[in-house]
Chains A and B, each alone.
Chain A
Amino acid sequence: MNLKEYKRRLREALRSGRIAEAVGRARSSYRKNVQEALERYPHTLELAKEVRRIKEEAIERMEELVAEAREQMERNRIKTFLARTASEAREIITSLCGAATVIVKGKSLTSEEIDLRDHLEEQGYEVYETDLGEFLVQLLGIKPMHLLAPAVHLTREEVSRILSQHLGREVPPEVEEEVAAVREFLRDKFTRADVGITGANVIAADTGTILQIENEGNVRLSSSLPPVHITLVGMEKVVPTLSQAMKVAEVTWRYANYTMPAYVSLISSPSKTGDIEKVTTYGAHGPKELYCVFLDNGRSAMARDPRFREALYCLRCGGCLYECPLFCLVAGHFGDRYFGGIGALWTAFVTGGLEEAAPLAYSCLTCGRCKVRCPLEIDTPGMCLQLRHLIAEGAQEPLS
């Protein structure tokens, strides 16, 4: 997208005014909740410093840790793959889905990154997003507008209109009614699904454990009801140990406006039982087959570049977006698959390239408030300036 087109998009987003109102409400509640959460669990601040050190080590050793995680997973009967590109990942997942008909999905930015849903639908699968916000976004056929709250720009009145239209019955503009309508609609999809696809928040290399944080319960259903579960995860999510993974997860959810999430899942193998003659048998109540697809897609190049490595520390809590003045005006229009200043960096290395990233890099205000919010104090404005340097004066080192 060139600068002119991008500017036009921003102006349109501005004109509606709805986005700013909806994100403004979300921001107020985010700030209040996180402040309360930090008062209730004051150890979080120290923990965040430790998590920074954990991520520094993990990104330094990224390839090695992915190899270790894969080895442990394979020993636990999780079949693993390492996709170096988005198309490789799509092919692997499509072949794993095989003769399936219905697929349920937990929200996953990584799947967004590789356009997985669109791809699977093109292959003829019936795919359902099961996260409420993501489900709405799917119905609307638009892109998500926030990392964690994809429908952050929609008001309850708009949601009522969308649901009434798609579910073929009147859904009143009451949040509770709206949630119930979606629950009822998706319940049947969960039980019919042949495959569940989810992301992961953290991976522990030493135990090969997949950690998932959620509130709605849809990720649990997606990972346990269908006979096949596929997890797609970026390489940067792996940390050395399970106890470190828990620390990363806790900091993530606290800054992601969860205080304490309803569910934290730790998955280390397919469902199994040894209750009859101590013979281990797979596929008791949960899935019989479990796959984990690690995705590179530019991450290893980023990890090798000391100027941009820090962008891989991002936990995707989404806190920075609420502090970004531009994001609060135009939401996900300031971004590609990933949003805000950090999104400019991920666009450059992962989802787009330098040319796609240029308008985003130049629309970071470099005001620095995202860095104040970030639990890991990621210097996003500093890296956006580095990105501008690459754009303006060319790469001192190749950007691959």
Chain B
Amino acid sequence: MVPKALQFLRENILSSEDLFGIDRSRWAEGLGLEPEGEVLFFAGCGYQYLKGASRFLSLAQRAEERGIDWEATWGLWGRLRALGRLFTSGQGRNPLRDGVELLRRAGLRVAYLGPKEPCCGAPLYFAGFRGDFSARIPSVIEALKGSGAKEVVGMVPSCTYALKELMGEVPFQVVPFPVYLTRVDGGKRRLPQPKKVVYHDPCMLARYLGVTEEPRELLRSVEGVELLEPEASREWATCCGGGGGFEAVFPQVSAALARRRVEELLRTGAEVIVTACPGCLLQLSEGVKAVGAKGVEVLDLAEFLARAEG
């Protein structure tokens, strides 16, 4: 009774510690990150696949439109692995790298476990495989503890939620990236030209972790940002349509939800949509393409801030 797409993700996590069964640490190539330190950067799964996942979702949608039970066509998933490999080379867009750079500029030495970073298991939990999720908790905690971390900075809200709220007592503090950055940040940033920016609250960050103000503070601190609010924001924000594995099982409906959220966000007159979750980033980027909003950028918070560095 579990949708096949979610079963596939489960198998990957259990067999190779990754949603799609790839090495997702290549984004950090050349950054010289040590695997040990008091502040551990937890990259999670998501930002590494943006490009591959975008291609994949559009394939899935097209298959669905033609009435193909695409969940059963496993060959497509295999292809995603190849696409994912292309993207994890550390070239081009890289919100994770931006996140590390921002923390470094705030004077922090951040550690990263690289290929040894475990999958937090959140997709297992959300797909209903709680037993699998629970069985992995000790090894996940052990791996993070092994870095000597006192604090774990989570880039992906659902990973952060899993580490912080679903694992019982953990011997380190888990802090969402925007909260951590707000705490240590002293950066002066400005945009070359003033821009109208709207922030999309990820469900996991706003409703599950209660983080709504820090990302806004960070955005407002950038000179030239005019921060706009959509009608539905903070705890009332509308989901991008990519929650809980939904986009993998219902790609067409998910795309429709993304378009609707993009319309809500663009009703503010914004030129840039900023969010802080790889799932939202992907959904909203696709949504912007689908509604044909010319010149509207969709950026991750870390990306946006890094670009505004003096």
Q: Give the total of B residues in contact with A, Cβ under 8 Å.
A: 35
**Out of A3, A358, A366, which one reaches B243, CB within 8 Å?**
A366
- Check B253 against A10 for contact (C-beta < 8 Å): yes
| Chain A, range 131-190, C-beta contacts under 8 Å to B | none
For residue A122, CB closer than 8 A to chain B, the reply is no
- Check B260 against A14 for contact (C-beta < 8 Å): no
**Out of B2, B207, B244, B250, which one reaches A372, CB within 8 Å?**
B207
| Chain A, range 302-329, C-beta contacts under 8 Å to B | 323, 325-326, 328-329
- Check B239 against A355 for contact (C-beta < 8 Å): no
Stretch from A230-238, A254-262, A388-396 contacting the other chain: A388-396
- Check A364 against B244 for contact (C-beta < 8 Å): yes
- Check A4 against B1 for contact (C-beta < 8 Å): no
- Check B1 against A355 for contact (C-beta < 8 Å): yes
**Out of A323, A326, A367, which one reaches B253, CB within 8 Å?**
A326
Stretch from B81-89, B95-103, B124-132, B285-293 contacting the other chain: B124-132
- Check B207 against A388 for contact (C-beta < 8 Å): no
User: A392 contacts which chain B residues (CB < 8 A)?
Assistant: 1-2, 127-130
For residue A368, CB closer than 8 A to chain B, the reply is yes
User: B250 contacts which chain A residues (CB < 8 A)?
Assistant: 7, 10, 363
Interface string of B115-129 (1 = CB under 8 A from A): 000000000011111
**From A11, A330, A355, A392, residue with most partner B Cβ within 10 Å:** A392
Among residues of A, the one whose C-beta sits closest to the C-beta of B244 is A366
User: B256 contacts which chain A residues (CB < 8 A)?
Assistant: 14, 329
- Check A369 against B207 for contact (C-beta < 8 Å): yes
For residue A365, CB closer than 8 A to chain B, the reply is yes
Among residues of B, the one whose C-beta sits closest to the C-beta of A355 is B1
Q: How far is the CA of A366 from the CA of B245 in the complex (A)?
A: 10
Q: Which size class do A's interface residues fall under?
A: 35 or more
B291 to chain A, nearest CB (A): 14
For residue A354, CB closer than 8 A to chain B, the reply is yes
Among residues of A, the one whose C-beta sits closest to the C-beta of B206 is A368
For residue B208, CB closer than 8 A to chain A, the reply is yes
Given A4-B69, A354-B1, A365-B241, residue A11 in contact with residue B260 (CB < 8 A): no
User: B182 contacts which chain A residues (CB < 8 A)?
Assistant: none
User: A125 contacts which chain B residues (CB < 8 A)?
Assistant: none
- Chain A interface main SS type: helix
| Chain A, range 20-38, C-beta contacts under 8 Å to B | 20
B261 to chain A, nearest CB (A): 8
Interface string of B212-252 (1 = CB under 8 A from A): 00000000000000000000000111110101111001101
Among residues of B, the one whose C-beta sits closest to the C-beta of A357 is B1
- Check A3 against B238 for contact (C-beta < 8 Å): no
| Chain B, range 88-147, C-beta contacts under 8 Å to A | 125-132
- Check A330 against B253 for contact (C-beta < 8 Å): yes
For residue A282, CB closer than 8 A to chain B, the reply is no
B23 to chain A, nearest CB (A): 27
**Out of B6, B125, B203, B257, which one reaches A385, CB within 8 Å?**
B125
Among residues of A, the one whose C-beta sits closest to the C-beta of B131 is A393
Q: How far is the CA of A73 from the CA of B246 in the complex (A)?
A: 48
Q: How far is the CA of A366 from the CA of B208 in the complex (A)?
A: 10
- Check B207 against A389 for contact (C-beta < 8 Å): no
For residue A81, CB closer than 8 A to chain B, the reply is no
Interface string of A1-23 (1 = CB under 8 A from B): 00110010011001000001000
Q: How far is the CA of A214 from the CA of B51 in the complex (A)?
A: 53
Q: How far is the CA of A393 from the CA of B132 in the complex (A)?
A: 9
B62 to chain A, nearest CB (A): 13
- Check B203 against A368 for contact (C-beta < 8 Å): yes
For residue B186, CB closer than 8 A to chain A, the reply is no
B209 to chain A, nearest CB (A): 11
B286 to chain A, nearest CB (A): 15
For residue B3, CB closer than 8 A to chain A, the reply is yes
For residue B64, CB closer than 8 A to chain A, the reply is yes
B150 to chain A, nearest CB (A): 30
Q: How far is the CA of A390 from the CA of B127 in the complex (A)?
A: 11
**Out of A325, A362, A385, A390, which one reaches B239, CB within 8 Å?**
A325
B235 to chain A, nearest CB (A): 5
User: B64 contacts which chain A residues (CB < 8 A)?
Assistant: 7, 11
User: A11 contacts which chain B residues (CB < 8 A)?
Assistant: 64, 252-253
User: B243 contacts which chain A residues (CB < 8 A)?
Assistant: 365-367
| Chain B, range 244-292, C-beta contacts under 8 Å to A | 244-246, 249-250, 252-253, 256-257, 260-261
User: A389 contacts which chain B residues (CB < 8 A)?
Assistant: 128-130
Q: How far is the CA of A337 from the CA of B221 in the complex (A)?
A: 50
Q: List 16 A-B contacts (CB under 8 A).
A: A4-B69, A10-B252, A14-B252, A20-B260, A325-B241, A325-B257, A325-B260, A355-B1, A362-B3, A362-B245, A365-B239, A365-B257, A369-B236, A372-B207, A392-B1, A393-B128
Q: What are the nearest 8 A-B pairs in CB distance?
A: A388-B128, A392-B128, A367-B239, A365-B243, A368-B207, A366-B244, A358-B1, A367-B203
Measured CB to CB, the residues of B under 8 A from A are: 1-3, 6, 64, 69, 125-132, 203, 207-208, 235-239, 241, 243-246, 249-250, 252-253, 256-257, 260-261
Given A329-B256, A329-B260, 6 additional A-B pairs, CB 8 A: A14-B253, A20-B260, A325-B238, A369-B237, A372-B207, A388-B126
